[in-house]
Amino acid sequence: MTVSFHKYGDYFPGTGDIKDIGAKSGKYYAVNFPLHSGMDDESYESIFKPVIEKVMETFCPTAVVLQCGADSLTGDRLGCFNVTTRGHGECVRFVKGFGLPMLVVGGGGYRIRNVSRAWAYETSILVNQEVSNNIPYNDYFEFYSPDFKLHLVPDKDLKNDNSKEIKIFENLRTITGAPSVQMQQAPPARMLREENEDAADPDSRTENNGKHQHEAEFYHDEQDQDNNDEAENEGNENAAPDVVPMDVDN
């Protein structure tokens, strides 16, 4: 069983639609939940918790691999969600509460100072260790200015375009539990979309309103690989183009 909460649109062309539920013997064992821009802590938890709880109830897994993609954090360079470190960590805490063996790994994330914040906080949850909101002095201390805090504050100006969905629960009702038979042939990597498309076009890329330049950007010279404007102003014709994510989680 795989469960994915990710950005709605063309980040993963041909995949990730809510109707992509697996094929053949694996049908209904893939759960995709596309999310729109501006997803905040409250909205994310209201989706994540009931979906995961239903998956646990119907599939009865014996172990969990949890990927904590940090490009869902507020202020990410490429992501356009508004989830804070506390919201991220609450999802880890919720899955941990089922008492199953867990393998927790990282994922996407394009503002490194926030990636390190999230993974430090989530590690503290996993090992039952309280941590201070004040970041201790270290070699990269100035990297976390201006507040030098562990937890992020959501962008109050970022609109939340998400609404509640029930389609996934309809799909989960068809699952009888974790397979206990021998391994079957894996479903094909590419699957045809069903003719009944969503009301909105999932391949229409939405505006990335959450991307902005942080005042504590660490590099301000030639080491800044994503400062194309400065390179162009200096007449550097070899400046690297903007990177568009194609196969990383969101």
CATH number at residue 108: 3.40.800.20
The type of residue at 6 is H
Q: What is the pLDDT of residue 167?
A: 55
Domain assignment present for 238: no
3-class DSSP state for residue 207?
A: coil
Q: Is 130 exposed, middle or buried (0-12, 13-18, 19+ CB in 10 A)?
A: exposed
Residue 12 domain boundaries: 2-216
Comparing CA positions, the residue from 37, 40, 18 lying closest to residue 90 is 40
The type of residue at 191 is M
Alpha carbon 234 to its chain centroid, in Å, reads: 36
Task: State the 10-residue block means of pLDDT for the chain, 250 residues long.
Answer: 85 74 89 89 92 93 95 91 96 98 93 96 97 96 95 94 65 60 43 44 52 56 53 46 44
Domain assignment present for 226: no
Domain assignment present for 133: yes
Domain count, the chain: 1
The type of residue at 144 is Y
Q: Bridge-partner residues for 65, per DSSP?
A: 103
Domain assignment present for 83: yes
Q: What is the pLDDT of residue 226?
A: 53
Domain assignment present for 26: yes
